[in-house]
Amino acid sequence: MSAHCHDHCHDTPPEAAASPRYRKVLWAALLINAIMFVVEVAGSQASGSMSLLADAIDFAGDAANYGLSLAVLGMAMVWRSRAALVKGVSMGLYGVFVLGKTAWMATQGTPPEPLTMGAIALLALLANVSVAVMLYAFREGDANMRSVWLCSRNDAISNVAVALAAVGVFGTHHAWPDLVVAAGMAALAMSASVSVVRHARQELAEGRHDHPPTQGHHSHH
């Protein structure tokens, strides 16, 4: 799941994306993740599934990772750290929102519509597997390339969990399988958020230490 990789995906050094093919793969991954974020939010609204809404966090976070990897290449570390800080806070807020909505849905007792939920979970699985296959050739690259590939592989596990929750809802006619998976994924997103924010703040603090104001001209380029 995304909680395993949000610490590292913003650390792409310029040379890691020197390959035009790697850049194209990152753009394709960004597009797929952005589309699936919209699809899962819409699917959550249509089916009433909280685990689909929670899984959308993964797609949003990964789309941000790929975008960040492409956008900040060659920029000063301070900008990469600031971007990661914004992303970390956003993930945490979205995780809190999903957790709150999941708790509210638990009081309603209305099970989600399992067929829509399951179909979108399988579509999400297909999307993540496609990205993982595209990134597979780069898995032996630097630490960032490996972590980006692991992101997609771990996200596929999230999709399987949502699909199993759909089966659980279908079999029990209760909402709890969906709510349990949603709560777990929202908690993971919040945990990842804390980790990303801590990591980014540490980098910013180190940057200030390395470049005091009298010698701070490096951080502007």
| Each residue's pLDDT tens digit, 70-102 | 776 666 677 778 877 888 888 888 889 999 999
The angle that helices 20-47 and 143-172 make with each other, rounded to 10 degrees, is: 20
Taking 70 as the threshold, does the pLDDT of residue 14 lie above it?
Answer: no
User: What pLDDT score does 219 carry?
Assistant: 42
52 confidence band (pLDDT: 50, 70, 90): very high
Taking 80 as the threshold, does the pLDDT of residue 28 lie above it?
Answer: yes
pLDDT 10s digits, 196-218: 888 888 888 887 665 544 444 44
pLDDT 10s digits, 126-182: 999 998 888 888 777 666 666 677 777 778 888 999 999 999 999 999 999 999 999
Query: Model's pTM, two decimal places?
Result: 0.76
Q: What token pair was written down for 5? A: 């990789």
pLDDT 10s digits, 97-136: 999 999 999 998 789 999 999 999 999 999 999 988 888 8
Per the model's pLDDT, the better-predicted residue between 140 and 29 turns out to be 29
Contact 67, 12 (CB under 8 A): no
Q: Which residues contact 58 (CB under 8 A, 6 or more apart)?
A: 1, 2, 155, 158, 185, 189
User: What pLDDT score does 83 carry?
Assistant: 78
Residue ranges per domain, the chain?
2-220
How remote is the C-alpha of 45 from its chain's centroid? 20
User: What pLDDT score does 211 carry?
Assistant: 52
How many beta carbons lie within 10 A of that of residue 101, not counting itself?
Answer: 16
